[in-house]
Homo-oligomer: A and B are copies of this chain.
């Protein structure tokens, strides 16, 4: 049981930790505890450099039941062993499975991977944390259910993990937190709660009604370290009669503002019912080519190259992807309204492809699958932009109101800072009815340590600059979690005081995911 190469949990000697590991093994079985440095590498930040990141676990545990989690918590509480919970740990743009606190013990829930229930009539599923989007999709297919899920760009992630981290997909249920209904949570003291109507034994509405009697704590367990979510209900869409995958291309950089103003009324009144995305041409180009195909100079790509891409790829400088779903007559009526709106946008090119919902899985080509809720890994090619097979990325994700002027102001700010670090500006803007969530992909070549360093430095600068302009991030990498949290300073950081009050009450020993989203237990924040 070699741990020499792994960091130790703070406050524990090597000998003490060896004792703790023995207790974990005795309680869970040896195959549930991993300490071999090579095996733990899978759980390091996948896109960081070994030399510059401390986010490494001391060991990893793979419980397969709620009872085993309770056993782990008993041991961790007794010896103040910090844990770091992940479901699948595929949150790669923000640090993957790696713990914020060096030496925390990884609590990896991927073995708890049962789809517990699929209810076709009321269109929901109840899943465990290890269930990936791929798994849920397959379970629905295998059961022959006329249901559709919402998937993020990559299907390998956990449905629960993605939702707890405020993830998005691109169907009408693309705001995954809004589709969550009912949770089972193991608290730090081992107590098990069920939220909403699940708090009543034998209740029939745990996955059909979001609230219960009294306060609703579900939001507390997202992006937090207040508990371990072991079951979650997820609302699914009835498979539509017709699915229409649509696009609009705008030729000029300056089209972004008018494009946003055109989209807003359409998403606000649900003429466009899904979560569309607007990407710049570089984002699009990175899915089908590499930087060296276009340019081999240093510094950010010049506008002339972006124009070149636009022409050669037949794309716009800004490219909108959206979808319509439902009975064909309604889809047709909605599309006409979209056409009329885009007719007022000079130069915009609009199009779409219709699919029959019943045969959706087999007939939809790759580029139209995500909006149809069909999971894939296609978009992984984007990270090869700089480094080819050794590419990596780090996402910076600020939110703006869905107004042309605001989105233009924010993208200009982000582009200016990104380019000032000599990096290319790649943006995908998720459109919600009232907000634009910009995902700025800071790609780098993992073999180029100076470029990696620049990307992380750039991300830090962006956090500060964006906050000055009034924009906060919806999600953040381990390395900037404290910095992002620091920007939320209303009333002298009242939010932090509130979160710490809850943390101390729910987890007095501070064992659950210390540092997650900038929330530290009492013992670790005294020096702050």
Q: Is A3 part of the binding interface, using a Cβ–Cβ cutoff of 8 Å?
A: no
A400-B435 in contact given A333-B330, A502-B505, A504-B505 (Cβ < 8 Å): no
Residue A100 lies at the interface, judged by CB distance under 8 Å to chain B: no
Question: Given the complex, which residues of B lie within 8 Å of A205, measured CB to CB?
Answer: 399-401, 435, 471-472
Cα(A403)–Cα(B121), bound, Å: 8
User: Is the CB of A156 closer than 8 A to any CB of chain B?
Assistant: no
Q: In the complex the two chains form, is B401's CB within 8 Å of A122's CB? A: yes
Once the chains bind, are A501 and B491 in contact (CB under 8 Å)? no
Partner of A240, one of B177, B224, B269: B269
Question: Contact string, A186-213, partner B, CB cutoff 8 A, digits 1/0?
Answer: 0100011111011111111101111111
Question: Complex Cα distance A200/B325, Å?
Answer: 37
Alpha-carbon distance between A523 and B330 when the two chains are bound, in angstroms: 59
Q: Among B240, B467, B474, B487, point to the contact of A209 (Cβ < 8 A).
A: B474
A150-188: CB near B (< 8 Å → 1, else 0) gives 000000000000000010000010000110010000010
**What are 8 A-to-B residue pairs whose CB atoms are below 8 Å?**
A123-B268, A194-B495, A201-B490, A204-B470, A205-B399, A209-B434, A213-B487, A271-B327
Q: Check if A122 sits within 8 Å of B403, measured CB to CB.
A: yes
A407 to chain B, nearest CB (A): 11
**Interface residue stretch chosen among A107-115, A126-134, A215-223:** A215-223
Q: Does A509 contact B (CB under 8 A)?
A: no
Task: Let me know if A499 is at the binding interface, CB within 8 A.
Answer: yes
Select one of B200, B238, B402, B491 contacting A490, CB under 8 A: B200
Residues A434 and B208 in contact, CB atoms below 8 Å apart: yes
Most buried by B among A123, A399, A519: A399
Q: For residues 482 through 510 of chain A, which have their beta carbon under 8 Å from a beta carbon of chain B?
A: 484-485, 487-491, 494-495, 497-499, 501-502, 504-506
Interface residue tally on A, bucketed by range? 35 or more
- Give the complex CA separation of A325 and B502 in angstroms: 42
Known: A209-B434, A219-B219. A191 touches B122 (CB 8 A): no
Given contacts A193-B495, A505-B504, A484 and B213 within 8 Å (CB-CB): yes
Cβ–Cβ contact B494 & A193, under 8 A = yes
A473 at the interface (CB under 8 A from B): yes
Q: How far is the CA of A333 from the CA of B235 in the complex (A)?
A: 26
The residue among A199, A213, A326, A432 with the most chain B CB atoms within 10 A of its own CB is A213
Binding site for B on A (CB under 8 A): 121-124, 166, 172, 177-178, 181, 187, 191-195, 197-205, 207-224, 226, 235, 237-238, 240, 264-265, 268-271, 273, 325-327, 329-330, 332-334, 336-337, 399-403, 406, 432-435, 437, 467, 470-476, 484-485, 487-491, 494-495, 497-499, 501-502, 504-506, 517-519
Q: Are A197 and B491 in contact (CB under 8 A)?
A: no
Given known A-B contacts A193-B498, A399-B209, A219 and B215 have beta carbons under 8 A apart: yes
Contact indicator B268/A270 (Cβ below 8 Å): no
Which 8 residue pairs across A and B have the least CB separation, nearest first?
Answer: A216-B219, A505-B505, A215-B224, A208-B434, A199-B495, A214-B517, A199-B488, A209-B435
Please give 10 more A-B residue pairs, beta carbons under 8 A apart, in addition to A123-B434, A199-B488, A199-B494.
A124-B434, A200-B467, A204-B406, A204-B470, A208-B434, A209-B474, A211-B219, A213-B472, A214-B517, A215-B220
Alpha-carbon distance A123/B264, docked complex (angstroms): 10
CB of B435 within 8 A of CB of A191, answer no
Chain B residues, Cβ within 8 Å of A326:
269-271
Closest residue to A468 on the B side, CB-wise? B202
Contacts of A336 in B (CB 8 A): 329
Report Cα–Cα, A270/B240, bound state, in Å: 11
Q: A402 — which chain B residues lie within 8 A by C-beta?
A: 122, 208
Contact B199 A490 (CB under 8 A): yes
Pick the contact of A198 from B224, B337, B490 — CB < 8 Å? B490
The residue of chain B having its C-beta at the shortest distance from the C-beta of A484 within the complex is: B213
Our pick among B214, B221, B489 for the contact of A519 (Cβ within 8 Å) is B214
